[in-house]
Amino acid sequence: MLRFTLLGPMQVIADGTPLTGIAPRHRAVLGYLLLNAGRVISLERLIDAMWGHDRPDTARSQIHASITAIRRVLRGVDAADRTLSSLCTADLSAGHPARPGASLELGGSLVQGPSRSRLRDGTGRQHRRGKVMSIDLTENSITEEVQSTFDGCRDARTRELFVALVRHLHDYTREVRLTGEEWFTAMDFLERVGKITTATRQEYVLLSDILGVSVLVDLINDHSGPCTTDSTLLGPFYVEGRPAVPNGADISAGRVPGMPLFFTGRVATRSGDPVAGARVDTWHSDGEGHYDVQQAERLHGHLAMRALLTTDEEGRFWYRSIAPRYYPVPTDGPGGEIIRAAGRSPMRPEHIHFWLHAEGYEPLITMLVRSDDPYLNHDAVFAVKRSLVVDFVQREPGTAPDGTVVKEPFQTVDWTFTLSPNAG
Amino acid sequence: MLRFTLLGPMQVIADGTPLTGIAPRHRAVLGYLLLNAGRVISLERLIDAMWGHDRPDTARSQIHASITAIRRVLRGVDAADRTLSSLCTADLSAGHPARPGASLELGGSLVQGPSRSRLRDGTGRQHRRGKVMSIDLTENSITEEVQSTFDGCRDARTRELFVALVRHLHDYTREVRLTGEEWFTAMDFLERVGKITTATRQEYVLLSDILGVSVLVDLINDHSGPCTTDSTLLGPFYVEGRPAVPNGADISAGRVPGMPLFFTGRVATRSGDPVAGARVDTWHSDGEGHYDVQQAERLHGHLAMRALLTTDEEGRFWYRSIAPRYYPVPTDGPGGEIIRAAGRSPMRPEHIHFWLHAEGYEPLITMLVRSDDPYLNHDAVFAVKRSLVVDFVQREPGTAPDGTVVKEPFQTVDWTFTLSPNAG
């Protein structure tokens, strides 16, 4: 009788006597074969099991050496082949001549299943994309195989983006040992993200925002150079058809209640000269944290708290509105599920958005954030930069910066935006 | 006059005379400050610029030492402060008392903008989540900040999944230096994936498939153990309401043209004993590579080439159908854009799907693939395993395995499926 012990020191015991001669370096191979006795084990799978990603150049010859050594020790033992194959007592191919041999036999060929010659097409070309045959993929070798399918990309950048994407997707899946159930949950989650997304409800953008990807892209691409205003996220509430208004207009249009806010701004070059004729888009929430597009019914579809202004000869622009308020990102969709699961705050601190365009200068998307906001350092989308933190100054009733006499308390904000010259 | 030379050896030149005393280890700090003169540079941003992820424990004290050294050298030079701030000739805060100081001044505090005391709320708690204040995030420190927002997860696995997801998303974005335009393209792509997805068109699953993630999840979760049939992907064409039929039925139902196929199967335990009463779902394409659900009009909504069978006392099941054909994954949606951009083959080799359920055994989702298929090693979704490659045997007109006399050429496939006992 031939016995193999795997727990404790690995031994091959023939009729009660341990066999010697299988060096430690070969025992791992024998152990793997025993654990998988009766299964088809390809050379590639064996190499993968032994070394994973760190396979030495000599991997194949080392495996062959181990197989030779194992065979040599077992050769004299009559029971060896029978014992090895009876570790899996069902001989699956019995009576099924159509099926390629599927049992591992140490005495036979290591690689079984369809023969390699069958895996060539009429041109004699071997059917393989990566280093490993596609039908022998393991959880490690599959990554290189999938990456190799992007070798034919006509665009080098596309290839770079997908090869890196595959690596990170696969590394993630392996690292967390993603279960099938979790994969189904992810597929269902993404499907629901797709279903809730509309032109005015960008749930993918929200996911990118709350996972910090949007701000990271902004940080990576911030080439604004010294002395210019930092950029930050556009956010989901910019609307194309906003009204153009003259300086001094009340852009809350009297439709929305709240404390009056007087904004005075200036657009300048890096040397401090005024930029006249700059187009300044601005938009912000109302005093309860809602944008106009979130209350279309109440506003009868009118836009409010958003406008397009133009700077005067001194680079100045100014308008009246109402003070905005901190508000939560939308939490009634899949993005909200993540926020609740994490016990995170969905809040964004009080802020005013700006998008500046001027002939000869880089466009600037930015946002000013209230300095004493309780969520200043807890923005749900990580978009506040220290350089964009500004005081919203509380004023007693009196004369506003534009000369208006205001009979109630009001706020003022003043800021100079500095643009970069066009890169071109 | 004070001049700084950055190209060639970095030097500080006062009235034509180079100043000495700024050691090489401090010059990088001075260089970074000069390149960013006029901007608010936080201590964290400076540390990040010097060391990135590999910051030593002494990073803060090293920066402070450099600042002290730089100040010491410049102290005697009257023009120093003026020169440094005039590198950015616009003094942005002039005339804007509401704005926090925003110019870098080596003679003043390194960290400017709103003072730290202002960044506390009423409780005196500092507004910070990670190690870095949220408003001082850099492209490297943002990752830890976003990860820290998952500290409050009630479920440890959820936290693990998101912390790793954020790391890989951010690493990917940084590595490829994703541009804003590419980010917009990705958002638009995902939105279109969402729009095309329906109950019978799972485009997210297709993306997961063609990027190899689905098979990787299958490989990771393959705990079938020795001597059992390997699992593989379910694929998108399984349908719940398939008809239950007796053994021997023609499941192509005469509705679909093609070469007759006779399938004989057996379900067995690992020791080779039959599994009686096992429920066997099977489904496959027609002779042109189309599933029934892809030709609902032609089939008047009838299902075909799919059925639920039950094994007899000997664990056997058998049916007649038509031979399937290799076919492309759907390429008319966003998934197809990837396939075309990569110049990849969209083809899947000829195969038959199976889903087995039996009391006391683990369910098995698997697929048998034709051994001489030209796409055997080029499956668009990487789902072929060597152990699942099988001969589709071509037969001359004559008697089929079930005794039917067939007057045209036909094919036979025979296979034994081996199940794992229930883990529970």
Q: Could you read off the pLDDT of A71-129 as tens digits, one per residue? A: 666 655 544 443 333 333 222 222 232 223 323 333 322 323 333 333 333 333 334 45
Chain A interface test: which of B158, B178, B377, B417 (most A C-beta within 10 Å): B377
Domain assignment of residue B315, yes or no: yes
Q: Report whether pLDDT(A17) > 80.
A: no
User: How far off is chain B from A102, nearest CA to CA, in Å?
Assistant: 7
Minimal Cβ distance to B37: which of A150, A226, A412 = A226
Domain assignment of residue A403, yes or no: yes
Domain assignment of residue A124, yes or no: no
Same domain, yes or no: B81 and B227: no
DSSP state of A185: H
Query: How far from B358 is each of B248, B291, B352, CA to CA, in Å?
Result: 20, 26, 20
Q: Which residue has the tokens 């929430």?
A: A285
Indicate the pLDDT class of residue B134, thresholds 50, 70 and 90: confident
Same domain, yes or no: B249 and B387: yes
Yes or no: say if A420 and A226 are a contact pair by the CB < 8 Å rule. Answer: no
Does B142 contact A414 at a Cβ distance shorter than 8 Å? Answer: no
What average pLDDT does this structure show over B250-262? 85
Yes or no: say if B116 and B19 are a contact pair by the CB < 8 Å rule. Answer: no
Q: Which of residues 66-85 of A touch B (CB under 8 A)?
A: none
Is A61 within 8 Å of chain B by CB?
Answer: no
List, for residues B18-33, the tens digit of each pLDDT value. 666 677 677 777 766 7
DSSP state of A136: G
Query: How far from A129 is each of A133, A151, B327, B345, CA to CA, in Å?
Result: 7, 10, 19, 11
Q: Which of residues 373-402 of A touch B (CB under 8 A)?
A: 374, 376-379, 382, 384-387, 389-391, 393
DSSP state of A54: G
Minimal Cβ distance to B152: which of A102, A162, A344 = A344
In whole angstroms, give the CA distance from residue B367 to residue B355.
Answer: 8
At B199 the pLDDT is 78
Is A145 within 8 Å of chain B by CB?
Answer: yes
Query: How far from A64 is each of A54, A56, A115, A272, B387, CA to CA, in Å?
Result: 18, 14, 18, 75, 21
At B301 the pLDDT is 79
Does A172 contact B164 at a Cβ distance shorter than 8 Å? Answer: yes
Average pLDDT across chain A, whole number: 80
- A170 vs B contacts (CB less than 8 Å): 212-213, 216
At A50 the pLDDT is 77
Sheet (strand B11-14) strand order: B2-5, B11-14, B17-19
Q: Report whether pLDDT(A415) > 90.
A: yes
With H, G, I as helix, E, B as strand and everything else as coil, classify residue A372: coil
Take residue B210 and report the two structure tokens written for it: 């063609």
List, for residues B360-370, the tens digit of each pLDDT value. 999 999 999 99
Residue type, B373: D
Domain assignment of residue B93, yes or no: yes
Domain assignment of residue B319, yes or no: yes
Domain boundary among B86, B113, B140: B113
Same domain, yes or no: A233 and A373: yes
Same domain, yes or no: B100 and B227: no
In whole angstroms, give the CA distance from residue A305 to residue A323.
Answer: 10
At A23 the pLDDT is 72
Buried b / exposed e over B27-49, threshold 16 CB at 10 Å, is bebbeebbebbbbbbbbbbbbbb
In whole angstroms, give the CA distance from residue A3 to residue A15.
Answer: 8
List, for residues B220-247, the tens digit of each pLDDT value. 988 766 789 999 998 878 888 888 999 9
Same domain, yes or no: A226 and A78: no
Average pLDDT across chain B, whole number: 80
Chain B interface test: which of A92, A200, A411 (most B C-beta within 10 Å): A92
Q: Report whether pLDDT(A306) > 90.
A: yes
Instruction: Check residues B359 and A199 and name the one with the higher pLDDT.
Output: B359
Is B175 within 8 Å of chain A by CB?
Answer: yes
Indicate the pLDDT class of residue B68, thresholds 50, 70 and 90: low
Chain B interface test: which of A86, A135, A157, A415 (most B C-beta within 10 Å): A135
Nearest CA in chain B to A271: B90
Indicate the pLDDT class of residue A35, thresholds 50, 70 and 90: low
Domain assignment of residue A128, yes or no: no
Domain boundary among A69, A89, A113: A113
Least confident of A299-303, A328-332, B109-113: B109-113
Instruction: Check residues A19 and B379 and name the one with the higher pLDDT.
Output: B379
At A85 the pLDDT is 35
Minimal Cβ distance to A393: which of B98, B171, B175 = B98
Yes or no: say if A354 and A364 are a contact pair by the CB < 8 Å rule. Answer: yes
At B308 the pLDDT is 97
Domain assignment of residue B157, yes or no: no
Same domain, yes or no: A99 and A227: no
Those residues whose C-beta lies under 8 Å from the C-beta of residue A174, and which sit 6 or more positions away, are A139, A140, B216, B220
Minimal Cβ distance to A90: which of B134, B160, B271 = B271
Domain that holds residue B81: 2-113
At B76 the pLDDT is 53
DSSP state of A419: P
Nearest CA in chain A to B394: A98
At A107 the pLDDT is 31
Number of domains in chain A: 2
Domain assignment of residue B180, yes or no: no
Domain boundary among B57, B82, B113: B113
Least confident of A368-372, B5-9, B152-156, B280-284: B5-9
Yes or no: say if A380 and A346 are a contact pair by the CB < 8 Å rule. Answer: yes
Same domain, yes or no: B98 and B229: no
Residue type, A422: N
Is A129 within 8 Å of chain B by CB?
Answer: yes
Q: What Rg value do the Cα atoms of chain B yield, rounded? A: 34
User: How far off is chain B from A204, nearest CA to CA, in Å?
Assistant: 6
At B74 the pLDDT is 65
ipTM of this model?
0.70
Tell me how many helices (H) and strands (E) chain A has: 10, 16
At A418 the pLDDT is 96
At B8 the pLDDT is 47
Residue B211: other Cβ atoms inside 10 A: 23
Query: How far from B74 is each of B55, B80, B112, CA to CA, in Å?
Result: 27, 6, 20
At A72 the pLDDT is 63
What average pLDDT does this structure show over B337-348? 94
**Which CATH number does the domain housing residue A52 bear?**
1.10.10.10
**Which CATH number does the domain housing residue A308 bear?**
2.60.130.10
Yes or no: say if B386 and B367 are a contact pair by the CB < 8 Å rule. Answer: no
